[in-house]
Chains A and B, each alone.
Chain A
Amino acid sequence: MCLAIPGKIVELDALNPQLAVVDVVGVRRKVDLGLLQDDLPVLGDWVLIHVGFAMSKISEADATDQMRTLAILGESEAAMQEVQGYGLENEVRHRERREPGP
């Protein structure tokens, strides 16, 4: 519930400045930057993510710390499951497979 997952901003959304793609251990998902709008992160910044929203900017060293925290708490798997679930990507893919379109 209270997982805070570190991710690196690897792509900013050209159309919507409040969205960005983050990389979490190689998995890339869109997250919402709206809760950091007073101090928007830039490309290459590290953020802590909670339920699909970037909650705070952190340093790379703190991101490493947070990775370790999740691992020793036995929560890295849950964290990756959460990140992979962002954007309903599994559901969207499943639907695309079923409905190949016209």
Chain B
Amino acid sequence: MKFVDEFRAPELIGKAGEEIRRLADPKRHYRIMEVCGGHTHAIYRFGLKDLLPANVELIHGPGCPVCVLPMGRIDDGLSLTAKPDFIFAAFGDMMRVPGTHGSPLEYKARGMDVRIVYSPADALKLARMNPEKHVVFFAIGFETTAPSTALTIIRAKTEGIRNFSVFCNHVTIIPAIRAILDSPDMRLDGFVGPGHVSTVIGCRPYQWIASDEKKPVVVSGFEPLDILQSIVMLLRQLRNSEAKVENQYKRVVPWEGNSAALRAMAEVFELRPYFEWRGLGFISQSALKIRNAYAQWDSEQRFYVPGVRVTDPKAAQCGEVLKGVLKPSQCKLFGRECTPERPVGALMVSSEGSCAAHYNYSQHRPVMIEGVAAT
């Protein structure tokens, strides 16, 4: 099987665009949030905004784990590189994220032992390969990634590997959505629900958004047609004054989620009372910490970390952008002081961050096939 570089059912993309224009009431303005950074990236890449009528606005949500991580956590994690015989392992996405004294990559350039791994299991493998050293895995991610970290910690315990610990920054998506809905300057009509997070948590955890907040949620795939179909499904619900959770991404997301993944998470993690999110501030019970039974594998319980709090650079307006109050290009630093090559704010670092996506695709034409919108 190969990678195939063409759209699924391109003729349907145009039809979905038409259906959106038919369903959108011209007297209303719709604000739909896509929660997941992968969707944000896809929306910019395919120029989907151009297929939507002006009164259907997409607001980019908080679902980019690199972007919502406060700088203080990066500083705290990197502080462990100062210990002799420590290896700091993290995903490639983290390597260019600036801390107060530089990014992990810059620490590496200064001689610290910083390694890129593609899996938490490989951070554990590093520990097996280097028994004289201690490996810290800097864990980030939503529920998509957290089960893999959990299982890796279980494996470390089972094998009795003691020169390995996790600096845990895993966050959970539901409290972030709740914080956004509680925010007084936000008015949203519905949500495009995250795709891969939902393979783990399923669709049930979004039920309260429909039943209590009366906002529709459609869990969506990542192709142009998926996202447009999800918007059609949202608009259809809104037109019928309905609020339900629907699953557009059935080919991958089971309604119940992944029971083994949820069990692994529950075994290893518990909720932190609160956690700071970049741009959103402190959110109650929005992040995971390692349970006492696994304290041996928790970098924070095992070693001293300073607990740094760093306020974002004043001029950077990451918070407003993250909440969808400002568009990326409305930030004073956008494209001048802050670019993907030299990011000031975290939204510029990851390709899933709305600023990087906006920067990359507003200069080059999006990939959407010419003429599809008109068909």
Contacts and interface: CB of A to CB of B under 8 A. Distances in A.
Given A25-B3, A35-B258, A87 B65 contact: no
A44 to B, nearest CB: 13
A38 interface: yes
Contacts of A87: 122, 125
Interface stretch (B113-121, B161-169, B205-213, B295-303): B113-121
A91 B121 CA distance: 14
Contacts of B125: 87-88
Contact of B252 (A25, A38, A58): A58
21 contacts: A2-B144, A2-B196, A4-B195, A4-B252, A25-B3, A32-B121, A34-B155, A50-B148, A51-B120, A52-B119, A52-B122, A56-B258, A58-B252, A68-B5, A68-B6, A71-B4, A71-B5, A72-B223, A85-B116, A88-B126, A88-B129
Given A1-B66, A38-B259, A52 B118 contact: yes
Interface of A: 1-2, 4, 6, 8, 25, 32, 34-38, 48, 50-53, 55-56, 58-60, 62-74, 76, 81-83, 85-88, 91-92, 95
User: Which 6 interchain pairs have the tightest Cβ spacing?
Assistant: A52-B119, A85-B118, A71-B3, A76-B3, A53-B148, A71-B5
Contacts of B104: none
A56 B45 contact: no
A88 B116 CA distance: 9
- Secondary structure at the A interface, as helix, strand, loop or mixed, is helix
B261 A1 contact: no
Of the listed residues A1, A53, A74, A88, the one surrounded by the most CB atoms of chain B closer than 10 A to its CB is A1
A62 B147 CA distance: 23
A56 B259 contact: no
Contacts of B260: 34-38
Nearest to B194: A2
B337 to A, nearest CB: 25
Contact of A85 (B1, B122, B147): B122
Contact of B41 (A4, A8, A73): A73
A62 B199 CA distance: 14
Interface in B121-166: 121-122, 125-126, 129, 140-141, 144-145, 147-148, 151, 155
